[in-house]
Amino acid sequence: MVSKKYRRTTIEIDEQLYKRIKALAVEKDRTMRDIISEALEEKLAHEEEKKDTMDSDFLRENPISKKIVGTMEKFISGDAALLLFVKKCESRGYNPSLIGREMLSDEFLLSLCNGMRYLSDVDKSECLKALKAAVGGY
Amino acid sequence: MFLDSIKGFDRIFHREPPEGSVTMVVGKPGTMKSSLVHAILSSYLWKNKGKKAVYITIEETEESHISNMKSLGIALPKNQYFIKDIASFKYEIAPTEDFLQDDKYFNFIISEISKPFGLYSKEAINDFPRLMALDSLNAFQTLFPLDSRLLRFRMQDFFQRLRHKKINSFIIVEGDPDVMIPEYFMMDGIIEVGIDRSHPQLPKRYVMVRKMRGVPHEMAPFMLNITKNGLEIGEPLIGWKR
């Protein structure tokens, strides 16, 4: 088993909070260090998870958006595909979670291809074809 | 690669640098750093039809690069040479200030830069470009509010991955070549470009190899000439002064 390395640090915390941590440590028969470390671990994990899902929740909620972004990822990075898709939706007043096939005009899909053009050498017509195929031709 | 690119590099290099070399091209503003790299890559590609290069521009748009190259008589081979225009893409997505200050922007840039080469991908990519240029390291670094040691660590990792995949890379840096920066130590090669002003009436552009691991090379500055066919390496400069 790998033992954890600890680093000594000094921070100031609210006195009442200090007392509560101390009381909890006594109650659980654990050290204050363990209680504080665990609480911080939980907080950091929560924040990281929040950050990861913040922009991409709609991909779980909407299969059409997911297919389009997935196809874009063949040509540009996942981060860039997400950014571009969200931006193009916003500029048309679309909510990426509520994208329907009727919203996917050639003009909208071409705007995605035009944006991708800066980052990929994909041909515009090939790009449009791939996006249409991804959402079933419609 | 150098010997098979613009005319006159055989005056400087006695053989080719090893594959996967990361070479910095450093010089003050207006010394033709970008033009030299475009010229090296494009002339190599014209002679090697199956090869590909990606030129990543963070500050200047593709349109501006193409127009500059045209004015110098440098033709970029269409199906082999791709300019990844992060400058224009940034304009396209109009990121918010929050986004720019976040690590997400760094991740986006790194993902985009590494995408064509599959540097961080678990899937093997065949036929990836073996040549890459990043213009510029200054633009890249100033975008990120990261701790400089962390940024340097990530850069080092990035360069290591390029070497591992045997991608010959050019990293453009704007600055005084005599002012040491930590990135100098990460490079396999350093090429300085500058303007010799020993004769103020007749300033001359030069190229000087300061370092190139694994290759015997000349240390003197050589003239960088603009001809109707693009750039060429000329005679060594005599009586040169910085």
Residues A63 and A122 in one domain: yes
Identify from B59, B114, B115 which residue to disrupt to test chain A contact, counting A C-beta atoms within 10 A and taking the largest count: B115
pLDDT category of residue A2 using cuts at 50, 70 and 90: low
Contact check, Cβ <8 Å, A118/B82: no
pLDDT for res B63: 95
Assess whether the previous peptide bond of B136 is cis (omega < 30° from 0): yes
Task: Identify the sign of the CA torsion A98, A77, B106, B149.
Answer: positive
B114 contacts on A by Cβ (under 8 Å) = 77
Tell me, yes or no, if A72 comes closer than 8 A to chain B by beta carbon.
no
What value of ipTM does the predicted structure carry? 0.84
Nearest alpha-carbon partner for B159 in B192, B132, B123, B128: B132
How buried is residue B200: exposed, middle or buried, by Cβ count under 10 Å (0-12/13-18/19+)? exposed
CA distance A71 to A78: 10
List, for chain B, all residue ranges whose pLDDT scores fall below the cut of 50.
none
CA distance B117 to B13: 27
What average pLDDT does range A85-102 have in this prediction?
89
Give A37-88 pLDDT, tens digit per residue: 888 888 777 666 555 544 677 777 888 999 999 999 999 988 899 889 999 9
A98 within some domain: yes
Residues A46 and A67 in one domain: no
A5 within some domain: no
Instruction: Write out residues 8-67 of A within 8 Å (CB-CB) of B.
Output: 51, 55
Tell me, yes or no, if A87 comes closer than 8 A to chain B by beta carbon.
yes
How buried is residue B68: exposed, middle or buried, by Cβ count under 10 Å (0-12/13-18/19+)? middle
Range of the domain at A35: 15-54
Name the residue in chain B with its Cα closest to that of A52: B104
Residues A68 and A118 in one domain: yes
CA distance A97 to A85: 11
A1 within some domain: no
pLDDT for res B183: 82
CA distance B128 to B52: 8
Identify from B109, B112, B123, B128 which residue to disrupt to test chain A contact, counting A C-beta atoms within 10 A and taking the largest count: B112
Residues A129 and A89 in one domain: yes
How buried is residue A107: exposed, middle or buried, by Cβ count under 10 Å (0-12/13-18/19+)? exposed
Residues A69 and A30 in one domain: no
Look at residue A135 and tell me whether its pLDDT is greater than 90.
Answer: no
CATH superfamily of B18-191: P-loop containing nucleotide triphosphate hydrolases (3.40.50.300)
DSSP output for B92-152: HH---HHHHHSHHHHHHHHHHHHGGGTTT-SS--SS--SEEEEE-HHHHHHT--S-HHHHH
Nearest alpha-carbon partner for A108 in A89, A136, A130, A134: A89
Residues A73 and A118 in one domain: yes
